[in-house]
Amino acid sequence: MSLSKQFIKPGQTIGIIGGGQLGQMMTFSAKEAGFRVVILEPTPNSPAGQVADEQIVAAYDDRDALLQLAEKSDVVTYEFENIDFKALDWLLDKAYIPQGAELIRVTQDRILEKKALTEAGVDVAPYAVINRLEDLEIGIREIGIPSVLKTSRGGYDGKGQFVIKNQKDIGKAAVLLKNGPCVLEAWISFEKEISVVMTRNTSGQLSYFPVGENIHVNNILHQTIVPARVSDNVENKVAELARKIANHLSLAGTLAVELFLTEDEKIYVNELAPRPHNSGHYTIEACNLSQFDQHIRAVCGWPLQNVKLLQNAIMVNVLGQHVDGVVDEITKRPDWSVHFYGKEEAKHNRKMGHVTVLTDDIEETLKDLNETKIWRRHDDV
């Protein structure tokens, strides 16, 4: 049932597993197109639940709740990958899930993800699968130092990773093995981190949003600059590798690809996110349609629109420690598009919202944002 192609009409219901800010922005797009939306999320009054028609308050692996979601929905999608694969797989013959479950299985496990990317014919950093300390010692000899040990499952915004800079770090890094298998990756000396968000509908039509240039602070995305300050050659390479990945994974819906770009313009795939992505938030203001609009079109069997960048943009994340500073600037910054997600508690390093600034001068706008002092890097430690 999940692999059949269906046309979902306005007035029908979209079920979304996950109630965070991505689900919230998906819901805005769905409501604009005339759909009803039901959210499944364990946290009451979630960001998505606040704007949806209904929220089922239950765990992602609660099969009674999933069945209830299926019964209420004409199509089911998800807003992030940390849902229960087995439960989603179980739901496939009870609901229409055009994205299927295999993409979740692959992207939840770095070992499977790297295997799939290699099979798709794109470059990843040299890596080794690490199950025990002896594997790590062998892997270090083969891959060298510096390198990065990452847990195979779980981990985001830099969690579940350890950079090995010398022999003394090997024992410290090995602590990650308590969480299960790991991946040891060669350290890529990159010039920029870039990403691309692509969408493929149930008819196989594929579209890409412009390549974004990402700046991270403490392993959390800080800014996305669009268009990325890269050559046409790099943009063409990114489009080609995105096509290879989408076709190999039989993609339906949205997929973000995070990339390392080296000085000699070699591109390595860092990781995949099988959903709209933080680095694609700029699309709400800067493009003729957002990544969320395109995702809703894709899973509902609608034709995709041709993407156009209307104006250059910079997106800046607003973490818990930035909230007061951003609020204080609102009355002085008519050019800022300010988004807050409705989370109840502003915790340190928690993503509370974002700001997008459309600009004709990227360098001047970057300078202006820095001069506000809201995002002073020493305050983010």
Asked if residue 215 and residue 342 are part of one domain, the reply reads: yes
107 lies in some domain: no
Residue 8 reports pLDDT greater than 60:
yes
The pLDDT value given to residue 3: 47
Asked if residue 200 and residue 182 are part of one domain, the reply reads: no
Q: Residue 157 is part of which domain span? A: 126-186
The pLDDT value given to residue 378: 45
Q: Which of 186, 201, 216 marks a domain boundary? A: 186
5 lies in some domain: no
Place of tokens 């891959």: 143
- Give the integer Cα–Cα distance in Å for 377 and 343: 23
143 lies in some domain: yes
Asked if residue 259 and residue 318 are part of one domain, the reply reads: yes
Q: What is the mean pLDDT of residues 119-130?
A: 97
Asked if residue 203 and residue 175 are part of one domain, the reply reads: no
Residue 312 reports pLDDT greater than 60:
yes
Q: Which of 139, 167, 186 marks a domain boundary? A: 186
Asked if residue 334 and residue 265 are part of one domain, the reply reads: yes
The CA distances from residue 177 to 109, 135, 140, 155, 270, in Å, are: 14, 11, 15, 13, 21
Contact 63, 288 (CB under 8 A): no
Asked if residue 328 and residue 244 are part of one domain, the reply reads: yes
Cβ neighbours for 31, distance < 8 A, ≥ 6 positions apart: 37, 51
Assigned token pair, 377? 């890097």
Q: What is the mean pLDDT of residues 9-13?
A: 98
118 lies in some domain: no
CA-closest candidate to residue 272, choices 78, 79, 116, 61: 116
Cβ neighbours for 331, distance < 8 A, ≥ 6 positions apart: none
Q: What is the mean pLDDT of residues 18-32?
A: 98
60 lies in some domain: yes
How would you classify the pairing of strands 147-151 and 182-186? Answer: antiparallel
Asked if residue 81 and residue 32 are part of one domain, the reply reads: yes
CATH number for position 75? 3.40.50.20
Asked if residue 229 and residue 174 are part of one domain, the reply reads: no
The CA distances from residue 108 to 96, 221, 223, in Å, are: 21, 20, 25
Residues in the chain: 381
Asked if residue 156 and residue 39 are part of one domain, the reply reads: no
108 lies in some domain: no
Q: What is the mean pLDDT of residues 196-213?
A: 97
Q: Which of 186, 208, 225 marks a domain boundary? A: 186
* Per-residue model confidence as pLDDT tens digits over 145-182: 999 999 998 765 556 899 999 999 999 999 999 989 99
Residue 379 reports pLDDT greater than 70:
no
52 lies in some domain: yes
Domain count across the chain: 3
Asked if residue 217 and residue 359 are part of one domain, the reply reads: yes
CATH number for position 132? 3.30.1490.20
The pLDDT value given to residue 1: 40
The pLDDT value given to residue 158: 56
- Give the integer Cα–Cα distance in Å for 222 and 196: 16
Asked if residue 200 and residue 165 are part of one domain, the reply reads: no
Residue 2 reports pLDDT greater than 90:
no
- Give the integer Cα–Cα distance in Å for 14 and 26: 10
The pLDDT value given to residue 381: 45
Asked if residue 182 and residue 196 are part of one domain, the reply reads: no
